[in-house]
Amino acid sequence: MDFQINGVSYKASKLPAMKQFHIVRRVAPLLAGMADKDKALEGIMNGIGSLKDEDANYILFGLLSCVEREQTGHGWAKVCVGESLMFQDIDLAVMFQIATKAFMENYSGFIQGLPSGLNLDSLKQNVK
C-alpha cells in the first residue's frame, strides 16, 4: 500500500501472521470500543487510555515496522527500527496516520469479517 502524508510518500507492507495476531489481540479493546458508532471516539480514547505502555508500544512500533518512507534520490528507509523512530519530523498526528495505514494494509480482511458496527468503513471514518 502506497500513501502520502503531508506530501511525503510512504509504503506499508504485510507483517508476518504471528505479528499480526499479537498486535490485533492488543488492539481488540479499541475495536470493541468502536461497536457503538455514536460513541466510537470515546471508546477508542478509553481503549487507548487503558493500554499498558508495553502494549501501546508493541502496537505502534509493530505497525510502524512495516512502513518505509521515500528518500528523494536515496530509495526507501524504514520509518522505525526497534522502538526508535528514524525521522524527527514524525509527530504524534503523523505517527497515528502512518500506523492507521499500516493497520489497514494488514487487517482489512480481518476487519471486513467483524460485525457491521466494526467494519473497515467505520474504522476509516473514526480513526484518521
Parallel/antiparallel/unpaired status of strands 80-81 and 84-85: antiparallel
Parallel/antiparallel/unpaired status of strands 8-12 and 2-5: antiparallel
pLDDT in tens, the chain (128 residues): 999 999 999 999 999 999 999 999 898 877 766 666 676 677 777 778 888 999 999 999 999 999 999 998 889 999 999 999 999 999 999 999 999 999 999 988 776 655 555 444 554 454 44
Q: What single-letter DSSP state applies at residue 1?
A: -
Residue with cell 504524534: 92
The residues, any chain, with a CB within 8 Å of residue 125's CB and separated by 6 or more, are: none
Say what the pTM is: 0.79
Alpha-carbon gap, residue 105 to 52, rounded angstroms: 25
